[in-house]
Amino acid sequence: MEFAKILAKKKYDLVLVARNEGKIYSLKNELESEHGISVYPYAADLSAVDAALNVFNYTLENGITIDVLINNAGFGDSGSFADSDWRKQYEMVQLNVVAMMQLTHCFLNPMIEQGHGKILNISSVAAFSAGPYMSIYYATKCFVRSFSEAIAEEVKARESR
């Protein structure tokens, strides 16, 4: 939630998405009272299929324009891939990759159309090497880095036309 606090200090209104409804409402109250901004809490498990699309639809339904998107949701797991819980590995890919990709896809075109916006996809130093006993986590972070660099080039090429 550090990013939320930093942006609140800069007077950005915020949409906060997290699984724990209590925590986001607590943070909402703190940030609104300290910084005089509007905070829109949205409780969701982004590892669920189409949860990211539901977040986008929430912003549309409430007339909220997103100027900065920070994709910071994610988790890791350790242990041998062969012995791992398949469902947990699947949920990691869904959250670390698919939700990030879907949120980026949903919000990128409106940002392009409004002529401004920033997307920050949080990766890790894990993106730069193989990670035995954390293979899926490392692979997802590699995807985030590669995807983000590619999208940045696509947007840059579009702007230079």
pLDDT tens digits, one per residue of 77-120: 999 999 999 999 999 999 999 999 999 999 999 999 999 999 99
What is the value of pTM for the model shown?
Answer: 0.93
Tokens standing for 145? 């880095």
Q: Can you give the pLDDT at residue 124?
A: 87
Give me the domains of the chain, ranges plus CATH numbers: 44-160 (3.40.50.720)
Q: What share of the chain has pLDDT > 90, as a percent?
A: 92
Report how far residue 78's alpha carbon sits from residue 56's, in angstroms, rounded to the nearest whole number: 31
Q: Can you give the pLDDT at residue 160?
A: 64
**Residue 87: Cβ within 10 Å count:** 8
Closest CA to 138 of 128, 149, 148: 128
Q: Can you give the pLDDT at residue 161?
A: 62
Q: pLDDT tier at 23 (50, 70, 90 boundaries)?
A: very high
Q: What is the mean pLDDT of residues 13-39?
A: 97
Q: Are 92 and 137 in contact (CB under 8 A)?
A: yes
pLDDT tens digits, one per residue of 51-74: 999 999 999 999 999 999 999 999
Strands of the chain (E only): list them.
14-18, 39-43, 68-71, 118-121
First CA to last CA across the chain, in angstroms?
Answer: 37
| Catalytic residue list | 137
